Amino acid sequence: MVVGQESHGAAAEPASFREAVAGLHEAVLRPEVFCEEMPAPQRIAPYAAALSADVTVEGAEVGTGRLILLHDPAGNDAWQGTFRCVAYVRADLDPDLITDPMLAEVGWTWLTEALEAHGARHAAASGTVTRVATESFGSMADEGATAQIEIRASWTPADGAGETYDVVPEVGAHAEAWGELLCTAAGLPPVPEGITAMPSRRGQRGTR
């Protein structure tokens, strides 16, 4: 996986951050997910790495998302740790589902279950789930209604012992959970138990 990092220079980056970013390279995503680097934010934390992803089924894009890994070696009380994952997911929905009163709660459950399924230990999770409905009128009326779900979340990744300060979290598991959230939100069926999904090609869009 190709990962974009804030430009501090490799020599200046803490070893713990370099190791955590290397963990992103080990994440295995489904073949429907195309993942590539994106510019990392430069003012939220001293160090950051960022990914973007699209979910494509039969040539149609059905979901998109971003994952940002932040690191502050001094620690952050709001994070309850030294690393923070920030995720965004947007996916198309059947317009009939947009009025389901349980949709937002279900959307948040997709995240927590994905983290649990991948053994991605974490703390201080927070976020929002937004439903977006669009209807067209006049000369655009034939375009029909559309609906989307947007999930914005952040959490503090932990190491295998559940510690969040002065540790190197198992970031690969968190990236895989984010990838699963993308696919679930986009309506892809889960991979059957006992079947291993082939990894996606990452950072290769447009190559020959």
pLDDT tens for 24-62 read 888 999 999 999 989 998 889 999 999 999 999 988 899
Give the confidence band of 192 by pLDDT, cuts at 50, 70, 90.
low
- What is the mean pLDDT of the segment spanning 52-74? 94
pLDDT tens for 179-189 read 999 999 999 98
Query: Cα 36 from chain centroid?
Result: 12
Would you say residue 201 has pLDDT above 60? no
Mean pLDDT, the chain, whole residue set: 86
Tell me what pLDDT residue 104 has: 93
Asked if 157 and 164 count as a contact pair (C-beta separation under 8 A), the reply is: yes
